[in-house]
Amino acid sequence: MTPWAERLAGVHGVLLDISGVLYDSGAGGGAAIAGSVEAVARLKQSRLKVRFCTNESQKSRGELVGLLRRLGFDISEGEVTAPAPAACQILKERGLRPHLLIHDGVRSEFNDIDISNPNCVVIADAGEGFSYQNMNKAFQVLMELENPVLISLGKGRYYKEASGLMLDVGAYMKALEYACGVEAEVVGKPSPEFFKSALRAIRVEAHQAIMIGDDIMGDVGGAQQCGMRALQVRTGKFRDSSGVPLEASQSQVSPAAKSRWGAWSRLA
């Protein structure tokens, strides 16, 4: 067997990150990464089960899928595991009424959630919505609670838009954690529960699955901790300065196979 074939022996399912792997978000909705439309098509025609596993929290699943379909991807809403719906399930199960510090684009996912008299804060990638005033309001809500609960949709440090690197929700999560003396509950990658729900949806065991993403902590480290294999693409937030990706040198995870699209699309 070739080194690639050995590495991928026994893989039955593929989890695909979206932002920075399939496309770079940005002005006008963003642009598909070269080769990605074809790679997804090839994967879906193969024997492998495919699920899209994203931390996207600026858009509803409907909006995200609409955008990706316009860019040429074969994808439907039912194939996407995303943090907002997962958070809504947790809020309902625990009787939590959130103060929402989120992007307007994802607000519709929370349409059937009671947001009166909040007893927790949900923070997501609010982009320009991370004003001082909005952050301060979330802080004040938490400080008023006897048992403050902070739920964060992902904990990414940054992501890449066409115009450059952009601060992600993790930075603002850390700000609130420090100010309020609380620890956030993360819904989304790298939370094991989140990966497991994506695997359940395609009925594949962790040891039979591979996660493909651009984030060494959120995608690669998180998947490895769940017993999955993982592969980091050299697109999106991957940074190749002096041969060492910035995040790899700072993370605790073992180095993962690094790949460009040409390489990992050979999976299929």
Q: Which residues bind a copy of itself (CB under 8 A)?
A: 126-133, 135-136, 139-140, 143, 157-158, 164-168, 170-172, 174-181, 246-247, 250
Q: Which is nearer to a copy of itself, 52 or 172 (CB)?
A: 172
Whole-angstrom CA distances from 145 to 68, 91, 118, 120, 184 are: 40, 16, 9, 8, 14
Question: How are the residues of the chain apportioned to helix, strand and coil, as percentages rounded to the nearest 5?
Answer: 40, 20, 35
**What is the residue type of 264?**
W
| Residue ranges with strand state E in the chain | 13-16, 23-24, 31-32, 49-53, 80-81, 98-101, 120-123, 150-153, 158-161, 164-167, 185-187, 209-213, 229-233, 257-259
Contacts with 263 (C-beta within 8 Å, 6 or more apart), sequence order: 4
User: Shortest gap between Cβ of 203 and a copy of itself (angstroms)?
Assistant: 36
Q: Which is nearer to a copy of itself, 49 or 189 (CB)?
A: 189
User: Shortest gap between Cβ of 247 and a copy of itself (angstroms)?
Assistant: 7
User: Shortest gap between Cβ of 187 and a copy of itself (angstroms)?
Assistant: 18
User: Shortest gap between Cβ of 176 and a copy of itself (angstroms)?
Assistant: 7
Q: Which is nearer to a copy of itself, 137 or 258 (CB)?
A: 137
Burial class (CB within 10 angstroms; exposed 0-12, middle 13-18, buried 19+) of 65:
buried
Q: Which is nearer to a copy of itself, 68 or 126 (CB)?
A: 126
User: Shortest gap between Cβ of 137 and a copy of itself (angstroms)?
Assistant: 10
| Residue ranges with strand state E in 89-195 | 98-101, 120-123, 150-153, 158-161, 164-167, 185-187
Distance CA 85, CA 97 (A): 15
Q: Which is nearer to a copy of itself, 234 or 266 (CB)?
A: 234
Q: Which is nearer to a copy of itself, 130 or 261 (CB)?
A: 130
User: Shortest gap between Cβ of 128 and a copy of itself (angstroms)?
Assistant: 5
